[in-house]
Amino acid sequence: MMKHRIFTTSFASVYPFYLQKAEKKGRTKKEVDTIIFWLTGYDDKSFKAQLKKEVSFEEFFDKAPQINENVTLIKGMICGYRVEEIEDELMRNIRYLDKLVDELAKGKSMDKILRKKTV
């Protein structure tokens, strides 16, 4: 089976579009980076290294230090699919990121975007 094109696309080539989407709505690069760090476990240094290497989305998520345990709290529609129902783990992680950036661009507060389980 062929890989979806996004899997082999360089993360660094798409990252500016995440920034553009957020910044057009008055949000910041720092907020986009915070979302990426929350989702993947990267820190500033390791994230910049991945951008510099121009790794694919597949490698970006494969090498992610730790996918946040609260990703299962991300629900809703993205690109015509319910994000929580996407079976392929890599595609689901990519769509989680898309969903979080969308929420940022729609004006949602960072506290709500960076979901925390209530005890």
End-to-end Cα distance, the chain: 42
Task: Tell me the C-alpha distance between 58 and 6, whole Å.
Answer: 8
DSSP 6-68: HHHSBHHHHHHHHHHHHHHTT--HHHHHHHHHHHH---HHHHHHHHHHT-BHHHHHHT-S---
Q: What structural domains does the chain harbor?
A: 5-108 (1.10.8.290)
Question: pLDDT by residue (tens digit) across 47-57?
Answer: 999 999 999 99
Q: Is the pLDDT of residue 21 over 90?
A: yes
Question: pLDDT by residue (tens digit) across 86-117?
Answer: 999 999 999 999 999 999 999 999 999 998 75
Indicate the pTM of the whole model.
0.92
